[in-house]
Each structure stands twice: as structure tokens, then as C-alpha cells.
Amino acid sequence: MDILLAKHWHHLPREEVATLLESDGARGLDTFEVAHRQANYGPNRLTVAKGKGPLVLFLLQFHQPLVYILLGAAAVTFALQEWVDSGVIFAVVLVNAVIGFIQESRALKAIEALARTMEGSATVVRAGKKEKITAVELVPGDLVLLQSGDKVPSDLRLLRTRELQIDESALTGESVPVQKQADQLARDTLLADRSNMAYSSALVTYGTGAGIVVAIGDSTEIGRINALIASADTLATPLTRKITHFSKILLWIILGLAGLTLLAGWYHGEPLLDSFMAAVALAVGAIPEGLPAAMTIMLAIGVSKMAQRNAIIRKMPAVETLGSTTVICSDKTGTLTRNEMTVLQVCVSGLCYEFAGVGYAPQGAISVGGTAIDPASHPALLECLRAGLLCNDSRLVDKEGQWGIEGDPTEAAMITAAAKAGLAHASVDESCPRIDALPFESQHQYMATLHAADSGSVACIYIKGTVESVLSRCHDALGAGMENEPVDQARIEREIADMAGKGLRVLAFARKTVAATGQSVSHADIAGGLTFIGLQAMMDPPREEAIAAVSACHRAGIQVKMITGDHLATAAAIARQIGLKGNAVDDPDSYAVNGHRLAQLADHELVDIVQRAAVFARVSPEQKLRLVEALQRSGHVVAMTGDGVNDAPALKQADIGVAMGQGGTEVAKEAADMVLTDDNFSTIEAAVEEGRAVFDNLVKFIAWTLPTNIGEGLVILVAVFAGLTLPITPVQILWINMTTAVLLGLMLAFEGKEPGIMARPPRRPEMPVLTAELMFRIGLVSLMLLLGAFGLFEWVLQQGRSVEIARTAAVNMFVFGELFYLFNCRSLRYSVFRLGLFSNRWLILGVVVMILLQMLFTYSPVMNRLFGSAPVGVGDWMLILAGGSVIFTVVGIEKWLRRRVESHG
């Protein structure tokens, strides 16, 4: 059989695993067999998918309808020998392509980063000899030795363990190191519960072990994640999807109207060249040349603003996607929680003590029923904390003001709790030196240590472990005054049930006094006769700022769901503390769902449950990916946060992936669209707010620029169909479009946030960029620009003045009409006077520069020759300003009427 195709290694007895792999559990593989297998199975390295070449990737940036339109505009202006305009348009296209190329070329780096996580060394036994090799040399059947600090080099079926603990949080989401053992497990055991397996890239935190290699390279669990990353679709953002759809429609409308213009000119007997130039003028007028540049620049400004708020954007469209997000799927460990185990409650002799403070910093008050107490007056409490200190192999470390740990997070939490009561680890160790210890083993579920007592005549054994393993060995309990009393089983069970209901992890503590003559402790010594001391309950607490951020997301109409590899009860308790809301009022069991239940659901059932549940626990990487896809099928715009290797496929599949910058793996960062530099969930709320502001400003720009394009197109159409002289020429249209887009429209990027921006629901994914209200406003302004420009053009001609003067008046009518309308567009709903007329200084600067340029356009001889313009009189300016004022007033009244209807509706 092909040994790489074997499955369920955890379900096989250890002896059978070695037999199947034709290896030896003590001597490992022979040298010749290693060489043979290396030739057959190749190196222990992930395959990096070959992506598109740089040239193809660059050329694909031009494969967009809007870019086709722009390239058409560049070709037309080039044909007209307008070198400057043609060069400007092409430069805009080129800049957009370069930016897109740089962003997309980073996408495949996720897989490269994943491959790097497999690099390193491994200690193996081959032909009975221990040797150190590079991890890429491993083959199936190799016998690998593990010790604290090692990175697991491949997937292993463990054969022997001694106190072995492995941190698999990056792979499974489990918040604490997993205690490993070598016994056979049930076939349907979930990945996170396979305690007899060690998976590639996980970190050994404690103990030693030996395992046999069962999978290398792409066949490992991390290799499957690599395949998921490669297969996950990179989705277009809501805005890019809508702009693409809009561009396709616009492309056909422009081509159709240009064709009609050509036919109308021919019908009126115009020379073919004149008709063709009229069609070109209409096409150039209708093309929003500034839209791609404006989108790019506005998104870039959004990127800059988010960077100031600790959110680094890797892909610019992600700025807008955040503003449209309807669901945030968040990892628990290190994202919603601190990733620092903390003792929250200690119960001794009927009293339950509350410990304030979170994390490993040894600060926080101790209270009972809300009243602070002096720990020195509670000797039984101190004894329970002393037991946690002495029966402990970990250390707290102060690293430049930041408290960290060496060892197990659970043990570190006990050290911190003791320090809050004034017990120093070093002094307690010194007063009660350790003589011997029984390490924690999965079959016993406890750890015991033997210590010399102060008197010297007796010694003391301290034991910690699961409640079941400790309580069954106790014949009495410690009273509040240090006296012995009967074990109150019912009370202890009530305390445990209360702690478990809060999602706390509970450990029990006991002690036994023995003669000082013994120098060792055995399992027989603690088989009975222990004195029960008390319980310590701990958890990885939620971030306080995450609670506020989740609440803000709910107010903004955004659902927040927890997707984690942790246990169901723990995850559900944390979720309730944070304030996550489900939609399962009629089915409370659907608030939290585990991976085993998810695996049994058909796709249509999953789509239903994903809408109702708030917590998904013990999920595999494939299930995370499936949950994101189910939400997307329901029409949601999904943001996925995470920091581990196991999050990477879902991060890439999501509409926006959000990785943690400090605690996140490189794989997660490379797969994400956005990285949070402070690992703070609350930063997502700030990013959503900025995303909504960017989207608002993009919509404002589109609502501002389209009336110009439509108005110019209508002016050309009316002139051609009426058989009249064109009021504006193609080159004049380009002047209007390019200068106003840069100097006027782009200034909307610096607009502040709309009032109540985080109090409104997210935009529905199917909702068009331009609502019916905005379409009406665009049509209204387009009509006013048509009447103003065409009417002014004809009026000047009737005065007996030249076509050049009439066209200059029409151009200025368009520019100043846009200028006045720009102030209306500063808010899509409110009056500019509510915002403050001069609150956007960049906009005022753009208006001033635009006016100066129009003066040059109108009165400079050089500009007159280039653009066919001519000086106009004061009377003309009065009419131009009056036309602009009419547009400003009419739109202001229209917005006021809509607000009035809404307030009464």
C-alpha cells in the first residue's frame, strides 16, 4: 500500500503504525531505506503553486471595461493629435495598472510564507543512532524525538511521551498547550482532540516525546491548509463589482449614442468628418476619465487614514469593502481574548474569592462578594495559592515592563494569582524547597510535588489536577482557620457547576503531610488520605476594548460571529461575556455549534445555521472556509479576522481578511487584506468607520461627476439631432473633465465623516452604488447643465458674437455649474451650511485654483489658440454665475424636501 494514503493514524495502535510504515519504534529506519523513501516521496516541503508570470499579471490589469473606455479615450485624443490629453489619460491607466500589479503580486506570498514555516531541523533515530538533520530530509517512517522548544517538523503519530505539551493554537485555535499521550483514540476524534498526534509547525512547550512520521510536505495537515489557500477564491469587492457592471453598461450606451450621433449627422447631410467628430465629442464627453484615478486616490487616502488608526491595508479595495461589511467572523484566541490565562476565582472552605486584573501582570485586588479583603487574614486562601505556586514548573518574566511567561500559561496564571496575594514565587520556593515531583500525565490527570516543611520533621505533598482525580483521593478538607473538616461534596459540586457555567477552567488542589525521611513521591503515596484545599478557576479573558467594539458593530448593523478551534463551553461563555448575539431565539442550542455537528450538515442546512448561530467551536480549517462561503452565499459581505495558520484559507476566501500584526503568523498576514498592528479588535470598528467614510466620498464623487458627462453628452446629442453647431468641442470637453475631476471632484476625498455614520445599517450587497434618489438628482443636474450651457451658447450667438465666444461661455457654464454643485455634494443628505461652508480647506483651495485656470482658459492668448476659446464679457459672467446659483439652490431645496418627507414618514 501507499503509506502516504493511510488515514486515521490516531485510531491505530502505536505498534500497528510502526508495522504499517515498515519502521522500528526503537531503532527507526535503516540508512538505505531512508534513501529509497527520499527518492520515492521527495522532500518534506510544501509545493508552491506556480502563479501567473509578471507580464501576464501586469497585462491583466488592463482587462477591465472602464480601462477599455479610458484606452479608447486615449486613442481618440491621440488621433486628434492632442498629445497632452492623450498622455494624461494613458498615464492614469498606467498608474492604476502598476498599483494593481504590485498589490496582486503579493497574493501568492501566503503560500511561500507557509512553506517557510516548515523549514528547520529535526532530531531523528536512524539505524539505532540519534542524529540531527534538516526537516526537509524527513521521510515517512522516520522516528523523531521531540523536546521543549522544538517545532514539530512533520505530522507524527506519537509512540512515547513524558509530560509532553504542544502549542497547536496556530493550527487548531486551541488557546492552551495540549497534553499529549500515545494511546489509541476513537476513529471520529476531531483534529483538535487528537492527543496522540503531533502536527507539523506546532511548538513543543514542555516535556519530551517520540513519534513516527506519518505524513510529510503536502500530505500534512498544514499541507492541506496550503491547498485550501491555493483554492480559495480571491473575490472582487462590492464596489469593484458594481463599477465593473456600471462600466459595461456605460460602454454600450456610449457606443450606441456615438453611432446614433453619426447617423443623425449623416441624416442632416453633414460631412462625414464633421459627423465623426461629433460622435467623438459625445464619446469623450460621456467617458468619466477621472473616475478610475479618483477611486485610486480616494482609496489611497483611506489607506493613509487607517494606518494612523493601526490598520495597515495590503489591498486598497479592502478600504471600501470594510464599509460594506455585514458580518465579521472573528477568531477567539488573541483576537477577542487576550491570549493570557488569568485566575478569576478561588474557592476555599465555602468562600469564593474574586481576583481583579487580567493577564500576567501581578496586580489586582482580591474580594469576596464585592468587598475587598486582606489576603493575610485568610490563611486557607494563601494555602491554596501556595499550592499553586509550589506545584508549578513555570515562571513569570518581566521583559521591559511587559509580563511574559516561560512554560505553561495555566501555571503562569497561578503564579500571577499568588503574587496578587503577596506571595513571591522565589521566597515560597526557598521556604519549602522541592524534593521530588510526579509530572502531569494524561492517564492520572494530576501533578504532585514533595517539599521540605519549615519544621524539618515532616514533609508536605502538594497535588493539583482535575477535580475528579484530586477529590476522589481526599478524606477531609481544609477549613477557613486551617483546621481539618469533612469534605462537603455537594458544596464543591455547586461551586464547580457555577465556574463551569462561566466557561472557566477549574483545577483542584490538595495536600498531605508525610514523614521527612522520604526523598521521593510515588502514585501510591497520594492514592488516598489527602486534605482537599480548594479550587482555582481561570480563563483566557476577553479584551475590554473588544466588548466595546462588538457593541459598536451591533449598533452599526454588523453581525459578529466567533469561529474558533477552542472548546464549545469556553467559547460560548466568552461570547456571552463579549456580547455576541445569535438569531436563534426559538432554538437556544443553536447559539453555539461545534465542528462535529457542522460536519453532519448539508450545504442548505449550513446556510440556515450560520445565520442563527453566534459561535462555532472546535472547527477545522475546511469548516472555517465552508462557514465563510455559506455566509457569502446568503448575500453577506464577510470580514474574517484571525492570526493562525488555520485561519489563512478563510482569510483569503473572505471579502476582506483581517490578520493580527503582533500575534499573527506570517501566513495569516500574507493571506489577509488588512493587518492590525495593535492586535486590537476595536481597531476593526475604526476601520469600518473609515471604510464607510471612503465609500460615502466615492459615491459623492460619482454623483458629482456623472451630471457633467451626461450633460456634455446631451449637449452634443441635441446639437446633432437639431442640426446645430456643436456648443463644445472634443478638446474642450477633455479640458472640463480632466481639470474639474482633479481640482474639484478629488477634493471630496478630504470630506469628513457624515453625521451618524456608525448608527446606520451597512449597505446591502445588492444595493446599487447610485440609489433612485441620487439618480433623480443626477438627472436633474444634468438637465440644468444642458439648459444652461446650450441656452447660453445660443444666446451669445444670437447677440452676433463669434462661435468661439459662445463655446467659451458654454464651457464656463459647465465648469461653474459643477463648482456650485460640488458644495451640494459635500453631503448627500444634509445642507452644506450644517457641515460648515469652509470646513473642507482642500476643497476651497481646489475651487480657487479652478477659477484661476478658467480665467487663463478664457483670457490667455496661448489657451485661446490651444482650446479655441475667446474672452467673454461681464454680462456673460453674470449669466454663468446665475446658472450655477440656480443649480445650487434647486439641489439644496430637493435635499431639504427629502429630509422633511423622511422626518414625517
Active site residues: 331
- Residues 16-27 as b or e (16 or more Cβ within 10 Å = b): ebbebbebbbee
Residue the block writes with cell 446658472: 883
The answer for residues whose C-beta is within 8 angstroms of residue 183's C-beta and 6 or more apart is 14, 196, 443
CA 760 to chain centre: 22
The torsion of the CA quartet 762, 766, 770, 776, rounded to 10 degrees, works out to -110
Do 375 and 381 contact (CB within 8 A), yes or no? yes
In order of 379, 391, 444, the CA distances from 481 in angstroms are 7, 22, 31
Do 164 and 231 contact (CB within 8 A), yes or no? no
Secondary element (H or E) of residue 56: helix 54-59
Alpha helices in 682-771 (DSSP H): 682-722, 730-743
Q: At what angle do helices 730-743 and 272-286 cross, to 10 degrees?
A: 10
Do 385 and 414 contact (CB within 8 A), yes or no? yes
Alpha helices in 801-873 (DSSP H): 803-824, 832-835, 841-859, 861-867
Residue the block writes with cell 454600450: 252
Bridge partners for 536 per DSSP: 346, 507
Q: Is 162 helix (H, G, I), strand (E, B) or coil?
A: strand
Grid coordinates of 210? 517520540
d(CA 773, CA 828): 10
CA atoms within 13 Å, Cβ hemisphere of 49: 16
- Residues 706-720 as b or e (16 or more Cβ within 10 Å = b): bbbbbbbbbbbbebb
Grid coordinates of 39? 527518492
Do 214 and 9 contact (CB within 8 A), yes or no? yes
Sign, CA torsion 823/829/832/836: negative
Which of 648, 679, 654 has the alpha carbon at shortest distance from 109? 648
Do 225 and 645 contact (CB within 8 A), yes or no? yes
d(CA 520, CA 539): 33
Alpha helices in 723-802 (DSSP H): 730-743, 772-798
d(CA 775, CA 2): 64
Q: At what angle do helices 272-286 and 65-79 cross, to 10 degrees?
A: 140
Class of residue 850 by CB neighbours under 10 A (exposed 0-12, middle 13-18, buried 19+): buried
Residue the block writes with cell 482537599: 532
CA 285 to chain centre: 41
Do 635 and 238 contact (CB within 8 A), yes or no? no
d(CA 248, CA 389): 69
* Phi/psi at 27 (5° precision): -100, -15
Alpha helices in 344-408 (DSSP H): 379-390
Which of 133, 131, 142, 135 has the alpha carbon at shortest distance from 30? 142
Which of 770, 773, 771, 779 has the alpha carbon at shortest distance from 709? 779
How many beta carbons lie within 10 A of that of residue 836, not counting itself?
10
Grid coordinates of 145? 524525538
> Looking at residue 350, what DSSP letter applies?
T
